[in-house]
């Protein structure tokens, strides 16, 4: 989480925070440094604020360097930076103010900038709250000034679910950004107020980032699945469609359809060879499939008086156009047709 904290927020921490928090955050700040250095805008913020705050405590060397690169005299020219600095300064006040009494009173600290629900949750936390509260305050101050920080938070959603216990100070530090998310969530979805803390936390963050939870299982799949080995060499076959055996012997087999007359049979010489053990399929020419580039459709025909083929259950007694998803049945074998060339695409289009 702290990775994504802006230099601005760290400055605020340094300026307004009690010393005890420094220890909890040192690690996070150290982690954050490489990223921070890459962002030009926060550097300006830093300089402006440094002036305003009369030299907060810097933990990072990289900041010392950037400071050298940007002389303080030039700062007034950075109107943007100035503005932000002003905003920061303004925000800093309300944010910090609640933090002070919190540290002293230890309970109800969070209520000052969070909802009652959050406060209830966190009432039970004693020393940890004091630390977290100030963190939260800083993040609140953070949010309006630097939206990009907010956008980055979603990259580390995993730790959010973990701090369920909330008995240790360490998880609390991770939770710090959560209150930022809490505010919009309360407005949009007030219903689950008394929900368990862990539920709230994960969902709160989600809503705030506009990140759809439904996607996460796909993300998980992509992150956890092993790459499939290459099965065969890729060839330029210019497919017009595919047949996939969906039931019967050979279930799961796939045949690429190309232009020309493609006979279906069990023999080796059949363009669509279905030799998976269904002997009800003729050796040769049980049925045929052909793509007609004129009307961009594939057609199914039967291969003679002794070869029955059904299309969507109906016997095929004449050449019949195939539609995407059509089910072809030959003997005990069911095959689904998927079109590639159709009204939307034909290989001639690309020429």
Partner 1 sequence: MLATPAYDIALILDTGQRDTQEDAIAARVFDSAGAGYVVIADGMGGHDAGEVASELVISAWRDMMDAQLDGPEPAEGDLLDALPMAAMQANAAVSGHSEDHGVKLGSTLLGMLMLGHRVFWISIGDSPMYLFRDDHLSQINEDHSMAPEIDAQVAQGILTADEARVHPDRNRLTSVIMGSEIPKVDCPETALTLAPSDILVLGSDGLQYLSDPEIGGLIRTNAQSPARDIADALLQALQARNDPDQDNISIAVVKPAGT
Q: Which is nearer to partner 1, 170 or 317 (CB)?
A: 317
**Residue 76 or 325 having the CB closest to partner 1:** 325
Stretch that binds partner 1, among 168-176, 256-264, 308-316, 337-345 (CB under 8 A): 308-316
Binding residues for partner 1, rule CB under 8 A, total 11
With contacts defined by CB under 8 A, name the span among 118-126, 188-196, 287-295, 315-323 that binds partner 1: 315-323
Q: Looking only at residues 264 through 303 of this chain, which bind partner 1 when binding is defined by CB under 8 A?
A: 302
Is-contact 132 173, C-beta < 8 A?
A: yes
d(CA 3, CA 29): 7
Return the residue of 40, 71, 313, 344 that touches partner 1, per CB under 8 A: 313
For partner 1, the closer of residues 55 and 325 by Cβ is 325
Tell me: does residue 314 bind partner 1 (CB under 8 A): yes
Q: Does 305 bind partner 1 (CB under 8 A)?
A: yes
Residue 342 β-bridge partners: 345
- What secondary structure, in 3-state letters, does the chain show? CHHHCCHHHHHHHHHHCCHHHHHHHHHHHHHHHHHHHHCHHHHHHHHHHHHHHCCCCCCCHHHHHHHHHCCHHHHHHCHHHHHHHHHHHHHHHHHHHHHHHHHHHCCCHHHHCCCHHHHHHHHCCCHHHHHHHHHHHHHHHHHHHCHHHHHHHCCCCHHHHCCCCCCCHHHHHHHCCHHHHHHHHHHHCCCCCCCCHHHHHHHHHHHHHCCCHHHHHHHHHHHHCCCCCCCCCCCCCCCCEEEEEEECCCCCCEEEECCCEEEEECCCCCCEECCCCCCCCCCCCCEEEEEECCCCEEEEEECCCCCCEEECCEECCCCEECCCCCEEEECCEEEEEEECCECCECHHHHC
Return the number of the residue (3 or 310) whose C-beta is nearest partner 1. 310
The one among 216, 319, 323, 324 contacting partner 1 by CB under 8 A: 319
Smallest separation (angstroms) from partner 1 to the CB of 205: 53
308 is a site residue for partner 1 (CB under 8 A): yes
Of 104, 294, 318, 343, the one binding partner 1 by CB under 8 A: 318
Of these, 34, 315, 321, 325, which contacts partner 1 (CB under 8 A)?
A: 315
Selected from 191, 228, 306, 350, the binder of partner 1 by CB under 8 A is 306
CA distance linking residue 311 with residue 331, whole number of Å: 12
321 is an interface residue for partner 1 by CB under 8 A:
no
**Shortest Å distance, C-beta 248 to partner 1:** 12
- The smaller minimum CB distance to partner 1, of residues 150 and 288, is found at 288
> What would the x/- binding string for partner 1 be over residues 175 to 214, using CB under 8 A?
----------------------------------------
* Binding of residue 317 to partner 1 (CB under 8 A): yes
User: Alpha carbon 325 to chain centroid distance?
Assistant: 31
Nearer to partner 1, 167 or 319 (CB): 319
Q: Is 327 in the site for partner 1 (CB under 8 A)?
A: no
Residues that bind partner 1 (CB under 8 A): 302, 304-306, 308, 313-315, 317-319
């Amino acid at each position: 989480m702290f990775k994504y904290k802006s230099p601005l927020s760290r400055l605020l921490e340094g300026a307004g925070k009690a010393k005890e928090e420094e220890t909890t955050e040192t690690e996070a700040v150290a982690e954050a440094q490489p990223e921070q250095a890459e962002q030009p805008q926060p550097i300006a913020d830093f300089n402006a604020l440094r002036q305003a705050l009369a030299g907060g405590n810097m933990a990072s060397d990289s900041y010392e360097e950037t400071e050298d690169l940007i002389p303080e005299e030039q700062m007034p020219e950075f109107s943007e930076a100035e503005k932000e600095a002003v905003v920061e300064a303004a925000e800093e006040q309300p944010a910090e103010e609640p933090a002070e009494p919190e540290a002293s009173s230890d309970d109800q600290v969070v209520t000052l900038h969070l909802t009652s629900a959050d406060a209830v949750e966190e009432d039970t936390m004693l020393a940890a709250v004091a630390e977290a509260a100030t963190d939260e305050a800083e993040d609140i101050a953070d949010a309006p000034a630097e939206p990009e920080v907010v956008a980055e938070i979603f990259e580390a959603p995993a730790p959010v679910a973990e701090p369920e216990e909330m008995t240790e100070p360490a998880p609390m530090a991770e939770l710090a950004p959560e209150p930022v998310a809490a505010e919009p969530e309360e407005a949009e979805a007030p219903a689950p107020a008394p929900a368990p803390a862990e539920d709230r936390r994960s969902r709160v963050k989600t809503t705030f980032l506009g990140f759809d939870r439904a996607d996460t299982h796909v993300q998980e799949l992509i992150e956890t699945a092993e790459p499939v080995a290459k099965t065969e060499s890729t060839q330029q076959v210019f497919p017009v469609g595919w047949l996939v055996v969906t039931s019967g012997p050979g279930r799961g087999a796939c045949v690429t359809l190309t232009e020309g007359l493609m006979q279906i049979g069990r023999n080796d010489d059949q363009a669509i060879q279905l030799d998976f053990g269904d002997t009800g399929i003729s050796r040769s020419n049980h049925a045929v499939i052909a793509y007609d580039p004129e009307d961009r459709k594939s057609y199914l025909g039967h291969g003679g008086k002794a070869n029955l083929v059904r299309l969507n259950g109906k016997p095929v007694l004449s050449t019949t156009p195939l539609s995407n998803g059509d089910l072809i049945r030959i003997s005990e074998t069911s095959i689904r047709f998927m079109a590639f060339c159709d009204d939307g695409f034909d290989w001639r289009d690309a020429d």
